[in-house]
Structure 1
Amino acid sequence: MSIRERKWTTKSGQERTAYVVDYYAQNGKRHIKTFPKKKEALAFEAKARIEVNGKIHVADSATVTVAEAGKYWLAACGHLERSTVAQYTQHLNLHIVPFVGKRKLNEITIPVVRTFLDELAANGRSAAMVRAVRVSLGSLLSDAQERGTVVQNAVKDMGRKKASNKTTARHKEQVQVGVDIPFPEEVRAILQAAEGKPRVFIMTAALTGMRASELRGLRWSDVNLSKAEVTVRQRADAYHEIGSPKSAKGRRTIPLPANLVAAFSEWQKECPKGDAGLVFPTGTGAIEFHANIVSRWYHPPQIAAGVTVDTGELDKAGNPVLAAKYSGLHALRHFYASWCINRPEDGGLGLPPKVVQERLGHSSIQMTLDVYSHLFPKGDDASAMNDAASSLLGA
């Protein structure tokens, strides 16, 4: 590996100088890279030497564009769920390729990623979408690293840099009661306003914490009324395909309270029959659309119960247009988690974190704590602390 100075005179008589790095990669192939300044050539030579010795160097001529790498990445995602692949495809085609698709992978540095994310936000992408696209870009670069078409994963490097900065604490978004989690009185009012299948569905979601996909795929054969328990064995995805639970921990058995067992017993008599034997099917026994459940079963009882928010719009009569306060079904899953966590004296079950994780089917206890740790009793409230101190001091 060497650096040589190259001088020449242009047709207009101007003298020019460049610095050429001449080296062989780990595969024995010769490469030449030219720089206008010597310090740039020295920096590249030092970096390339380390990479070649570590057998990880990728020459510019051996890399591909982000758009090309994206095609390989999507092809490698074939084992994932259709909805996940569809989301990745959307991220690539609508957000990544339009901004950095023509860039070579070796050009994707931390400053480039930072600028890319800022451009996404400036062009109307929400904060949640920017985060999701960043994750997808990081996955794309990881796939490219495995293929040997890039050395650096700038997205991961950016994350490590932030994690090492002790002055910047990583913000964990935790759900809040009244914003993400319905109050108990709100759930009670919603159930009082609901009837028939919607009421049983909402009750099941609130008292089992099952995901919407798990509820849509729930079969009567998975409901044991005599033992008062339900076992999650499958889920229905966005394409109405039945598959295994979201994670290995997703397969679980959840106890049922007596009032939910009674509701199931009554609903089973009226439930439409179908080959799949579903608990909450369409009128013909097929898998129900998620959008129909939200718009027809979940939102109307909220509006009827007054669990609403003002949309800021007016109807033809000049009255405020109200919408359901909790737009997504996941709010009921959050409610179940809070119900499991709250102390019995506060109307909850007072379960420890590990049991809450198992009930929710989270893949790890860390996921449970990241979202719900602030809801667990701290164990040092005034009364408990006074009792403990009295016991210690013998007072």
Structure 2
Amino acid sequence: MASIRIRLETQTLYFDFQYRGIRCKELTKLKANKVNQLRLEAIMKSIQKEIDSQTFSYRKYFPNSKRADLFESAAPSIASATANELVAGAEAAAQEMRKTGAKQATVNVDGMPSFSDFSDLWFTEREVDWKRSTQSKVKDILVKHLVPRFRGRRVHEITKADILSYRGVLAKTNEDGKALSATRINGVLNILRQILTEAADRYEFVSGFRSIKPLRIPKTKIEPFSLLEVGQILEGAPEEFKPYLTTAFFTGMRTSELLGLTWECVDLDRAQLTINQAWVAGELDSTKTAGSERTIDLSTPVIAALIQQQKNTEAIKSEYVFCASNGKPFNRHNFANRIWHPLLTQLKIKRRRPYQTRHTAATLWLASGENPEWIARQMGHTSTRMLFTTYSRYVPNLTRKDGSAFEQLLNSQLPG
């Protein structure tokens, strides 16, 4: 909730409010007293009213703030309209007023849409192609980042310099000492690129998004558990979560796939389960990619774990395999914060995300000598490339061979 707070270090007042889903803190030099408090509260009410009516301009209230650069670009320099354009605009405005009965009308003479209007149109046309989770992510990028930044700009006015400047703004550390990751920045700019490319194609102008390469993304940090650590975790886990963790460690399923798994997709007689959906943002959705839909072969420990899970949840009568008492999939964040991380701390095992169970399955399969193509199918990969580029470097650490197999071959085949 928007409020006026006191900065303890200086005993001065500052604004604290939410805008576009981001918490904003703006400092003032006013000392903390009743008069100044009332003055700023009145301003805060005006700000909140404008935010609610979607008329708020960050730069208007805080022109020197870094947040102003984040939310809004500077007013563009636009060439004056020609005489012919003014005449055409006046005629179009008059026609619009006669048609609607309005006393005034705003007309876009050259027909170029604003970024806000075109991004709305683009989203409406594209959302039918996306999963619900993708729709939510794109909407979030538009609302929090792109529309506030380019409000008031028309699509053809956004230059390469504007885009590079905005990328620099996104990469800056905010007041909380945090910065967007390279992956997130690339995601924001990718949506901008798609919008400008489509607009350029329709309205026949050259997009400002030219020769701008994505930021380099650091290699994904893979930290699989050793087989010894897996055993310790399964031994120390609460009884009700042992079946879930066993399945996670020995199937390589993603967290969303585990939570979206239903009993109708489990075939214990054939020792298989089918992945065709995922639990994302509190609802069922399609899998991450089309290749993620697959059939997984179950090992003996997983079969035993699923049989136990049937007994554990028999009274709940839920369609979901790993469910809470209400029959819905349990909350992944509550599990991580209340079960997973405390368990690792208790066992004195290095803190890692629950998703590392998937990486652990891949490295254990590789270490045991399973066929890479079979492993790729189990993981939902379309090829074995991911295995050899991401996971294979962990195999020597798990098997403790480091080339000894080849050494043994040479010793057995070559004379004395």
Instruction: Output aligned runs, 1:52-71, within 5 Å.
Output: 61-71=110-120
1:26 equivalent in structure 2: none
Offset of 1:280 from its aligned partner? 0.6
- 1:245 and 1:209 map into 2 onto residues whose CA distance is 14
Q: CA RMSD in A?
A: 3.7
- 1:142 and 1:330 map into 2 onto residues whose CA distance is 35
- 2:121 and 2:387 map into 1 onto residues whose CA distance is 34
Q: Does 1:305 align with 2:347?
A: yes
Instruction: Output aligned runs, 1:323-338, within 5 Å.
Output: 325-326=351-352, 328-338=353-363
Report the CA distance shift for 1:158/1:382 in structure 2 as closer, same or farther (over 3 A).
Answer: same
Preserved contact between residue 366 and residue 392 of structure 2 (Cα < 8 Å): no
1:191 equivalent in structure 2: 234
Preserved contact between residue 257 and residue 287 of structure 2 (Cα < 8 Å): yes
Report the CA distance shift for 1:257/1:110 in structure 2 as closer, same or farther (over 3 A).
Answer: same
Offset of 1:72 from its aligned partner? 1.9
Q: Does 1:216 align with 2:216?
A: no
- TM-score by structure 2 length? 0.62
Q: Does 1:233 align with 2:276?
A: yes
Q: Deviations over 1:39-95 (max 9, x none)?
A: xxxxxxxxxxxxxxxxxxxxx934333323321222133222222222212211212
Q: Deviations over 1:90-149 (max 9, x none)?
A: 211212233334333234343332211111122533224323212222232344345446
Preserved contact between residue 105 and residue 150 of structure 1 (Cα < 8 Å): no
Preserved contact between residue 220 and residue 278 of structure 1 (Cα < 8 Å): yes
Read off the aligned partner of 1:303 and give its amino acid letter: T
Q: Deviations over 1:131-177 (max 9, x none)?
A: 3212222232344345446532616x3239x9xxxxxxx66614333
Offset of 1:367 from its aligned partner? 5.3
Read off the aligned partner of 2:371 and give its amino acid letter: L
1:154 equivalent in structure 2: 209
Choose the corresponding residue for 2:291, options 238, 249, 255: 249
1:173 equivalent in structure 2: 219
- 1:382 and 1:270 map into 2 onto residues whose CA distance is 45
2:320 equivalent in structure 1: 278
Preserved contact between residue 198 and residue 298 of structure 1 (Cα < 8 Å): no
1:57 equivalent in structure 2: none
- 1:61 and 1:366 map into 2 onto residues whose CA distance is 50
Tell which deviates more after alignment, 242-251 or 254-263: 242-251
Report the CA distance shift for 1:335/1:381 in structure 2 as closer, same or farther (over 3 A).
Answer: closer
Q: Deviations over 1:259-316 (max 9, x none)?
A: 22112212211214566521111113223233233234433322332225xxxxxxxx
- 1:376 and 1:137 map into 2 onto residues whose CA distance is 41
* 3-state SS in 2 of match to 1:154: coil
Preserved contact between residue 173 and residue 371 of structure 1 (Cα < 8 Å): no
Q: Which structure 2 segments of 5+ residues have no match?
A: 1-81, 86-108
Choose the corresponding residue for 1:131, options 182, 186, 199: 186
Read off the aligned partner of 1:351 and give its amino acid letter: N
Q: Which structure 1 segments of 5+ residues have no match?
A: 1-21, 23-29, 32-59, 163-169, 309-324
- 2:412 and 2:207 map into 1 onto residues whose CA distance is 59
Instruction: Output aligned runs, 1:80-95, within 5 Å.
Output: 80-95=130-145
Offset of 1:341 from its aligned partner? 2.5
- 1:368 and 1:390 map into 2 onto residues whose CA distance is 29
Tell which deviates more after alignment, 187-196 or 203-212: 187-196
Preserved contact between residue 132 and residue 285 of structure 2 (Cα < 8 Å): no
1:49 equivalent in structure 2: none
- 2:257 and 2:112 map into 1 onto residues whose CA distance is 43
- 2:385 and 2:191 map into 1 onto residues whose CA distance is 22
2:96 equivalent in structure 1: none
1:295 equivalent in structure 2: 337
- TM-score by structure 1 length? 0.65
Offset of 1:383 from its aligned partner? 4.2
1:98 equivalent in structure 2: 148
Percent identity between the aligned chains? 26
* 3-state SS in 2 of match to 1:254: strand
Instruction: Output aligned runs, 1:317-356, within 5 Å.
Output: 325-326=351-352, 328-342=353-367, 344=368, 349-352=369-372, 354-356=373-375
Read off the aligned partner of 2:288 and give its amino acid letter: K
Read off the aligned partner of 1:86 and give its amino acid letter: S
- 2:194 and 2:164 map into 1 onto residues whose CA distance is 16
Q: Deviations over 1:225-257 (max 9, x none)?
A: 2222222122222132x2332222222111222
Report the CA distance shift for 1:205/1:95 in structure 2 as closer, same or farther (over 3 A).
Answer: same
Preserved contact between residue 115 and residue 147 of structure 2 (Cα < 8 Å): yes
* 3-state SS in 2 of match to 1:260: helix
Read off the aligned partner of 2:259 and give its amino acid letter: R
Offset of 1:338 from its aligned partner? 1.8
Preserved contact between residue 238 and residue 290 of structure 1 (Cα < 8 Å): no
2:126 equivalent in structure 1: 77
Read off the aligned partner of 2:219 and give its amino acid letter: E
Report the CA distance shift for 1:195/1:386 in structure 2 as closer, same or farther (over 3 A).
Answer: closer
